Amino acid sequence: MNSPGAGRFAPSPSGELHLGNLRTAILAWLFARSTSRSFLLRIEDLDRARAGAEAAQLAELTAVGLDWDAEPVRQSDRLPLYRAAVESLRNADLLYECYCTRRDIAEAATAPHSLPGSYPGTCRTMPASAHPRRHGRPPALRLRSGVTDWTVEDELHGSYTGPVDDLVIVRSDGVPAYNLAVVVDDAAQGIDQVVRGDDLLSSAPRQAYLASLLGITPPQYAHVPLALNREGRRLAKRDGAVTLESLAEKGWTASSVRDLILRSAGLPAGTLAGALEAFHPAEVPREAWIVEPGELS
């Protein structure tokens, strides 16, 4: 019988972690520890990396009591892994060049019978030599998908079926796309449990399908509710004191922020060890945590 692998938290080093990020990190830690998994960190820095943000985020995670079982890895150090996956897909004739701009795709998405947000397949059916933009921009590489949807099992949402289109595998600037990188990284790190915000649930079918093409077993998913402001939007700096640093200016300690997060998840405050004893995945709240300004005064 195989032993459990690992869970993870994978922030982008673009700025300070806010309450929602910290809540997801704590829940990911609790899911992993409660199932005897290792807990790993991955810095997803292919898109954005602000100077000093990685060190600050690691300090913030430590401040609320989290620990991890290996040195954090960075996507920017893992390009050979992504290239190998791209070559595997290319050798299987599963990639094609795409010259479409975002505007092209947005305009095509307004056509009758098109699926909102999905790629309409323009370059799949049009010879590259015929594309009007082929001389004006380098191509992206898209997956030649063989399905229109895929089903995943989620610990909180149950069976979830979502659309699968010809997703981007390598962007036009040559950078591996997020959906490829996350699938390759999770497999390479032995991650078999992915706990993240439920705004990413719709991407799980695409990633699980891509994993199947690469011979990878998809992880167990648990998409947890987000922390939102009273308007129902994701927390951001515009919502005021929502980071450890800004809350510290109002007299909050890291441990008091941790306790606030634990209470929002229906868990006892005090220590992460105590919360772990009381944690049951089935009892994780299904509704978003609405953070009222007065709660943080």
The reply, when asked if residue 196 is annotated as ligand binding, is yes
Tell me which H or E stretch contains 196. strand 193-197
The reply, when asked if residue 144 is annotated as ligand binding, is no
To 5 degrees, how large is the angle CA 62–CA 68–CA 69? 150
The reply, when asked if residue 178 is annotated as ligand binding, is yes
The reply, when asked if residue 96 is annotated as ligand binding, is no
The reply, when asked if residue 44 is annotated as ligand binding, is yes
Cα dihedral 169, 173, 178, 179, rounded to 10, equals -10
Tell me which H or E stretch contains 246. helix 244-248
The reply, when asked if residue 221 is annotated as ligand binding, is no
The reply, when asked if residue 8 is annotated as ligand binding, is yes
How far is residue 33's CA from residue 37's CA, in Å, rounded to a whole number?
6
Q: Could you tell me if residue 51 is left (phi over 0), alpha (psi between -120 and 50 degrees) or otherwise beta?
A: beta
The reply, when asked if residue 11 is annotated as ligand binding, is yes
Contacts of 67 (CB under 8 A, 6+ apart): 39
Structure tokens at 11: 């922030």
The reply, when asked if residue 237 is annotated as ligand binding, is yes
The reply, when asked if residue 123 is annotated as ligand binding, is yes
Nearest residue to 2 via CA among 36, 42, 39: 36
How far is residue 178's CA from residue 212's CA, in Å, rounded to a whole number?
17
Q: Which residues are annotated as a binding site for ATP?
A: 237
Q: Which residues are annotated as a binding site for Zn(2+)?
A: 98, 100, 119, 123
Q: Which residues are annotated as a binding site?
A: 8-12, 44, 98, 100, 119, 123, 178, 196, 237
Q: Which residues are annotated as a binding site for L-glutamate?
A: 8-12, 44, 178, 196
